[in-house]
Chain A
Amino acid sequence: MNRAQWGWIALAVIVAALVIAPFVLPAYRTTFLLFMFMYVTLASSWNIVSGYTGYVSFGHASFFGIGAYTAALLILRAGAHWLPASLAGAALAVVFALPLGFILLRLRGPYFAISMLGLSAALEMIALSWTPLTRGGAGLNLPPHQSAIEMYFAMGLAMTAVIILSRKIITSKFGLRLVALREDEIAAESLGINTTAHKVAAFAISAFFPALVGGFYAWYLSYIDPNSVFRPILSVGMVIMTMFGGIGTVLGPIIGAVFLNVISEIFWVQLPELHQAAFGGLIVLVILVMPGGVIRLLKDRGILPANWRT
């Protein structure tokens, strides 16, 4: 059998194991996997705009928060089911991302990164101050519910969808154009690529999934407040997980999210007060020592073929 066939077999085994897992593992482990799926989804979404186009977003938690609040409010005020409520939140995030991306992505350089940082801070302040709607810092309480398994599969499906989409994009003409504009925007433009339209499209796609899992998160935890859904560490997590695994690849964010969740679970739980510094220090190290992440290391060692694009 060749390499590709082994790859498919390994994938089938992993998927089968993950499908059986929640029925045999204790509830705590199921919850751990569920949050790992959420982080894989977040990192992969971030990678679609920041990895493929090179425009770094420092505030992707904005979309997570928009999704969480939209879903929570629809469930509370309109009695909606959690799934359509989360989908509505994701749709709203896309509607919001389109004009925003059009404004912020027209300009080259670092405007986008800092503006996104500002956006998540501004949204958090709005959620805190708009008390009649959001109850401000008191947060929103949702009806409690029992099943972690339902949410496990919801998160798992969101993750599967974003991974398949990431791969579809990077192997498509659309993806090639994104990479072209990342490497040299002026050259890409001179080849007739409408760079703004492409960047905005990638941005809107990357806004959808964080908002979707934001809605799931709100329903699963039954409680959200501005600080928990707009917290900077969420945005930080997406960046470091993707950078660690390998930015601009399909596998990178998955490897990074899985690895860092496991590491956090083992070590950093004991040092919660240094969590942020550990993430920050790791970001610095990755940039200086292995800017291409694990994927690049594997390529350099010849374990992965050098022309491997996913």
Chain B
Amino acid sequence: MDLSILAQLVLSGILLGAIYALAAAGLNLIFGVMRVVNVAHGDLMMLGAYTTIFLYERFDLNPLLSLFISIPLLFAFGWLIQRALVNRVVNQPHLMSLILMWGMSLVIINAGLYFFTANTRAVPYLTGAIPLGDVALSRARGVAFVAAALISLAVWLFLQRSKWGKAIRAVAQSAEMARVCGINVERVRVVTFALASALAGAAGTLLITILAINPSVGPTFLLKGFAIIVVGGLGSFSGAFIGALVIGVLESLAAFFLDTQLAEVVIFFTLILFLLVRPGGIMGVEE
């Protein structure tokens, strides 16, 4: 087999993985702070993507610029979901939040199908590629990668340096201790969910410039996001990035050697394999 094809596949997998990492980092933040798996995370990505599609089709807005609309929009939506729904089940058994968010996911998917139809759509943006020796760097993927990397860096700095970021990390370590130290835990949870939702929106906006999607795509994204955080380590921010690169590359290889549909099956088996041999993930600790 030609080595340059392999290099090409790995490269496009890494570029894709960086975008998945944004979404997975959001999923991980919510899990870390609240021990809740946001089952509707993939659907929030779908909403981000459709915001971009809508703005592109109606106002011919550049997809990168629509980040400035999809991010605040999803931030506000996440804020609302946390205040209205998740807040009420945070301290209840896993079962409650899982089923609640699943219900929310169904509502979002159905709303998407109702308003945007079931057609698969994409936003054509920056076609063509830049040759780098034997491999070609797709311009759209390259730009999306840079944007994803910048957003990730900004979020990382926010979590490390800002007061809110420190509060989020404190609540993730121990909600009770954080409360004793005077942190408003409820408010931190709202900010966390809103931030994670904004990250999902940003990932959706960037993905739609390189993939075509339809409103039912959410559960597939959720599965990928979940596989990423299991591979990387549940609750670990940096783990999400390592996991995302693994899943991105695997997906790109599977789509080439097997079939696009079977890529999902490969990701599922990767998830099972990790649960079996290393349930703590690459960066995590054994449970």
Contact = CB atoms under 8 A, between A and B. Distances in A.
Given A54-B95, A103-B276, A283 B100 contact: yes
Contacts of A243: 99
Contact of B104 (A108, A275, A284): A284
A113 B98 contact: yes
Contacts of A122: 264-265, 268-269
Interface in B38-67: 39
A140 B234 CA distance: 41
Contacts of A50: 95
A239 B99 contact: yes
Contact of B99 (A106, A119, A121, A287): A287
B271 interface: yes
Contact of B106 (A106, A114, A115, A236): A236
Contacts, number: 130
B124 interface: no
Interface residues on B, range: 35 or more
Contacts of A107: 275, 279, 287
Interface in A33-74: 50, 54, 56, 58
A54 B93 contact: yes
Given A103-B276, A276-B106, A277-B111, A111 B265 contact: no
Contacts of B98: 56, 58, 110, 113
Interface stretch (A8-16, A125-133, A155-163, A195-203): A125-133
A284 B107 contact: yes
Q: How large is the interface on A (under 10, 10 to 19, 20 to 34, 35 or more residues)?
A: 35 or more
B255 to A, nearest CB: 12
Interface stretch (B131-139, B202-210, B220-228): B220-228
A173 to B, nearest CB: 23
Nearest to B227: A118
Nearest to B92: A291
Interface of A: 50, 54, 56, 58, 103-104, 106-111, 113-115, 117-119, 121-122, 125-126, 128-129, 232, 236, 239-240, 243, 247, 273-277, 279-284, 287-288, 291
Given A103-B272, A284-B85, 8 more contacts: A108-B287, A117-B222, A118-B227, A122-B269, A240-B103, A277-B107, A280-B105, A288-B89
27 contacts: A56-B94, A56-B98, A58-B98, A104-B275, A106-B275, A107-B287, A110-B37, A111-B275, A113-B37, A113-B98, A115-B271, A115-B275, A118-B223, A118-B227, A121-B219, A125-B261, A236-B106, A275-B110, A276-B107, A280-B103, A280-B105, A282-B103, A283-B106, A284-B103, A284-B107, A287-B89, A288-B88
